[in-house]
Amino acid sequence: MAIAVKNLSKRFGSFQAVDGVSFEVPAGELVALLGPSGSGKSTILRIIAGLESADSGEVELTGEDATNLPVQHRGVGFVFQHYALFRHMSIRQNIAFGLEVQKLAKVEITRRVDELLGLVQLSGFAERYPSQLSGGQRQRVALARALAPRPKVLLLDEPFGALDSKVREELRTWLRKLHDEVHVTSLFVTHDQQEAFEVCDQLVVLNHGKVEQMGPPQTLYEHPSTPFVTEFLGSVNVLKVETVMSMERGGHPEPSLTLPGRSGPSHVYVRPHDLEITRAINGRPAWPSRIRKLTRLGGLVRLEMALDDGTNLLVQLTRERCLELALEEGEMVFVTPKDMKVFHEPTAFVEDYMI
């Protein structure tokens, strides 16, 4: 493992910011540490970098115990959200900084800086100063500077967080491509689920200083193990069990759906794109439902629906399907869930429920 953290904990006063966190980053992978603001992401990254010390737990870098190693001996490259470029140095001098510290030969430094300028697609910018670059370009320089001394691992703390959304999207695609070229083991902190999905091989989802779940993005999206992960990874309807049970089949209002009987309450989660709209009931369980609002979002259409019992549902359809059904606001239609997640309390048992 290129990075392994074991049972890491950290308190600030009486506040438990990191609470028994363990995870691994395999060599060459790009892993996202994903969680809401305040969930402990930056603290974990700073502990791995050696900028902060943990109260307990261990950090291993490329198989060696680094728990008590000083920052400069850890071989980590770091990129922060806010540009940390040296303002009075040219782009070339900024990227060369770590190499000067290593006392590399001048000709060697020039060669490496040119190589990195090419890698981050800023070859013509070597003699400019940070103030003469856009925000996105500056973050690319920050990345080149972090990569210059060939770190064992690269740590990125919301590196695109301060940029506008269009630039951020471009940089995500760019970072993914760059990583496919250089394969440096990277841990990427973000609170943005979309960003994590686009950029990373694996996700570690954090909540209140604890790991909720880890795995490949698609696996977590399709098989979340907790309500938190389900809600954090995308828009979702949360339904009462009674609502789910009171579906109709063939027009007869009989309970047509049985949920596995377990003691304790259950919560049912359905994603907007897992709800199907039909004009007639066709033998499958369905809710009669009114279209309260129809919003066109490019290739997709969002429907705000109201069920008989007052439950509101969000449904997402493709533009084509919406046209095919000729849907209009105010109409009554039928809604069938294709896939639901049922979380049973207090056991926290999760069940996939397909119709």
Number of residues in contact with Mg ion under rule CB under 5 A? 1
Footprint of Mg ion on 41-60 (CB under 5 A): 42
> Smaller CB distance to ligand ADP: residue 11 or 176?
11
Burial pattern 231-256, b for ≥16 Cβ within 10 A else e, equals: ebbeebbebeeebbebbbbeeeeeeb
Q: Please provide residue 101's backbone torsions phi and psi, each rounded to the nearest 5 degrees.
A: -60, -40
Residue 38 near which of ligand ADP, Mg ion, none (CB within 5-8 Å, type-dependent)? ligand ADP
Nearest partner of 10 among 69, 66, 59, judged by Cα: 59
Work out how close the CB of 233 gets to ligand ADP at its nearest, in angstroms, rounded to a whole number: 16
Taking the least distance from each CB to ligand ADP, the nearer of 4 and 45 is 45
Using DSSP's 3-state secondary structure scheme, residue 342 falls into strand
Q: From the list Mg ion, ligand ADP, none, pick the one residue 163 interacts with, judged by a Cβ distance below 5 to 8 Å according to partner type.
A: none
Shortest distance, position 205 Cβ to ligand ADP, whole Å: 12
How many Cβ atoms from other residues are within 10 Å of residue 220's Cβ? 25
Q: Which is nearer to ligand ADP, 35 or 227 (CB)?
A: 35
In order, the DSSP letters of 264-281 are: S-EEEEE-GGGEEEESS-
Footprint of Mg ion on 293-352 (CB under 5 A): none
Q: Which residues are CB-contacts of 218 (< 8 A; sequence separation ≥ 6)?
A: none
202 binds, among Mg ion, ligand ADP, none (CB under 5 to 8 A by kind): none
> What type of residue is 332?
M
* Residue 41 or 271 having the CB closest to Mg ion: 41
Alpha-carbon span 332 to 117, nearest angstrom: 59
CA distance 184 to 297: 37
Instruction: Supply the minimum distance, in Å, between the C-beta of residue 42 and Mg ion.
Output: 3
Closer to ligand ADP by CB, 25 or 315: give it.
Answer: 25
Q: How far is the CB of 73 from ligand ADP (least distance, A)?
A: 23
Using the 8-state DSSP alphabet, how is residue 261 labeled?
A: P
Whose structure tokens read 């064992």?
A: 152
Please give the residue ranges that form the binding site for ligand ADP (CB under 6 A): 12, 17, 35, 37-43
Instruction: Name the binder of 263 from Mg ion, ligand ADP, none, CB < 5-8 A by kind.
Output: none
Task: Decide: 127 and 90 in contact? Cβ < 8 Å.
Answer: yes
**Is the separation of the CB atoms in 341 and 268 below 8 Å?**
yes
Smallest separation, CB 43 to Mg ion (Å): 8
Of 42 and 246, which has the nearer Cβ to Mg ion? Answer: 42
Least distance CB 192 / ligand ADP (angstroms): 12
**Is there binding between residue 202 and Mg ion (CB under 5 A)?**
no
Please identify, among the stretches 34-42, 171-179, 285-293, 314-322, the one whose residues bind Mg ion according to the rule CB under 5 A: 34-42
CB-wise, 51 or 69, nearer to ligand ADP?
Answer: 51
The per-residue b/e assignment along 197-206, b for 16 or more CB within 10 angstroms, e otherwise, is: bebbbbbbbb
Count Cβ atoms below 10 Å from residue 83 Cβ, excluding itself.
Answer: 16
Least distance from ligand ADP to the Cβ atom of residue 222, Å: 25
Binding site for Mg ion (CB under 5 A): 42
